Amino acid sequence: MEVSGSPDRRARVWQIVLLGIIALGIMFRGIQLDRKVYWVDEAFTSLRVSGYNEAELLQYMTQNPIVTAQELLRFQSPSPEKSPIDTVKGLAIAEPQLPPLYFLLVRSWAQMFGASVSAMRSFSAVASMLSLALVYALMQELFASQRVALTAVALLAVSPFQVLYAQEARPYSLWLLTVMTMSWLLLRSLRRKHWQDWLGYTIAAVLSLYTFVYSLLVIAGQALYVLWRAQDAPKSLKAYLIATGLAIAAFLPWLGWLVTHWAQVARLASWQTQSPIGGWWERLLTWGLNISRGFVDFNTSYEAAQSIPWLLLIAAIVALVAYALWHLHQAASPQASWFVLALIAPLALGLVGSDLLQGGQRSLVPRYAAVCFLGITLSMGFLLSKRSHPSQPSRYQGLWRIVLASLLAAGILSCANSALAETWWNKLGGYIPPAARIINQSERPLVISDRTMWALSLAHHLQPNTAIQFLTQRDRPPTLPPGYSQYFLFSTPPEFAQQVAQAGYRVAPLPNLEGAPIWEIGS
């Protein structure tokens, strides 16, 4: 992107362009919040926020075989019958791997703004917007350059990966916000050596730990970084050990509960221990695809990514990321380069190492590596800002400007494309919105469903008065109660649908949803 005129004028114009891109990224986080499917993980968020638990929901389903979608939504919004303590209890009993801070904050958020899909997701959107400001502050601490900071923030603002999780009712945006706050306060504390900064770091570390347990790996990386700098600042090492010790001590109650109930955690995370079918090729391609999604993402599946054009694009982005990390080590100060490396390496090694030692696919789940992708974007911001600076030789400066403009344009196009979609690669249940539209067109529909948490997801997309009947047993076809204009079978195994058809009922898939677990049934 070439701008004519004096260097100062070019710098001002480029600054305005970057600020415009950042504003566009903020807009992407706030628009179309209710468009994509509110999938089952988000429905679980709503259930936790309400204070109800699975046992209470299943008991209600058993006692009330026919309910309305509105009644299911009651279990997904804060209730005066339930307190924040019930939210914590629900997590501690059913999902101890999830600390409670995010869910408690979203509960308060929902009490103020409602529990609609847009309201629930808007908390993550706001957290992601605040992260942009923290990234700017962090980059200023690392590089003391407004140009570098704005470039990194612009890349992050239109990063498809960041925008995607900024619009999901899960803890990942808050986790990134707490990690950025913790990182900025650590650098500030090491520079200023004020006890107030160390106190702020302690609080930020506690908040991060109570948002996501993988913050332990982030803190481990920061501990190594402080130890590396200890020879220059021994007093800072002492202050850091006190601050970190207090943070870990504050997290011990939940950590102890997590360890005590590890069998429950292992059962819930059993899918993570399943090794990918494709072996090493699938691992390498998925890692590359996940890295590329930080800059360009058109909902490309693993199968589509094996085509030559996508393989070349993924290889080019991975090579650029590798060069950015090498350039950071060569061109930045050791304090800055090692800090970014400490942000990336422990979490990446922890995820990959656990897969290699124990088997599994934790490292293939991009949301777990969100902090790694953040560190990659910071290094990319440093590279592209420095290489496109007027002090570089003209021919290379123009080339790097093209690279920077291409990545920003790819991010903008990816975010715009995602904003118009009803589902994306990170969400299951993409068939639910079109299926719900068909159901909602019926004058008086009845949805017959297994007693599954997917019914909570479907309820967000149905008319409030839509009737839902829960199956009490699977050994015989359901009896179709009179008084309804159409009947739909939802979220049951295909074998059960075949049983229903063999019993003489008409069973047909919905138009263009032949592979989805939903059918229209009739006498």
Q: Comparing 270 with 182, which gets the higher pLDDT? A: 182
Whole-model pTM? Answer: 0.94
d(CA 51, CA 87): 4
Q: Comparing 213 with 398, which gets the higher pLDDT? A: 213
Band the pLDDT of 151: cuts 50, 70, 90: very high
pLDDT digits (tens, 9 = 90+) for 410-443: 999 999 999 999 999 999 999 999 999 999 999 9
CB-CB contact of 98 with 172 (8 Å): no
Indicate the SS3 state at residue 96: coil
d(CA 204, CA 225): 17
Per-residue pLDDT averaged across 404-414, rounded? 97
Q: Which of 31-40, 188-197, 344-353, 474-483 has the lowest mean pLDDT?
A: 474-483
Per-residue pLDDT averaged across 95-110, rounded? 96
Q: Which of 154-168, 200-214, 267-281, 315-329 has the lowest mean pLDDT?
A: 267-281
What is the pLDDT at residue 62? 86
Element (H, E) at 348: helix 334-358
What's the one-letter identity of residue 319? A
Q: Comparing 119 with 359, which gets the higher pLDDT? A: 119
Q: Which of 190-194, 199-203, 315-319, 365-369 has the lowest mean pLDDT?
A: 190-194
What is the pLDDT at residue 1? 47
d(CA 211, CA 17): 34
Q: Which of 239-243, 269-273, 292-296, 429-433 has the lowest mean pLDDT?
A: 269-273
pLDDT digits (tens, 9 = 90+) for 284-305: 999 999 999 999 999 999 899 9
Asked if pLDDT for residue 76 goes beyond 50, the answer is: yes
What is the pLDDT at residue 272? 81
Mean pLDDT across the chain: 92
Give CA separation, 149 vs 29, 146, 385, in Å: 20, 5, 9
In 323-456, DSSP assigns E strands to 445-449
pLDDT digits (tens, 9 = 90+) for 466-510: 999 998 777 677 788 899 999 999 998 888 888 888 888 899 999
What is the pLDDT at residue 478? 79
CB-CB contact of 305 with 296 (8 Å): no
pLDDT digits (tens, 9 = 90+) for 36-51: 999 999 999 999 999 9
Token pair for 4 = 């004519």
201: number of CA atoms within 13 Å, CB side?
27
Per-residue pLDDT averaged across 345-352, rounded? 96
What is the pLDDT at residue 451? 77
DSSP codes, 295-313: T--S---TTGGGSHHHHHH
d(CA 186, CA 237): 11
Asked if pLDDT for residue 392 goes beyond 70, the answer is: no
What is the pLDDT at residue 395? 66
Overall size of the chain counted in residues: 523
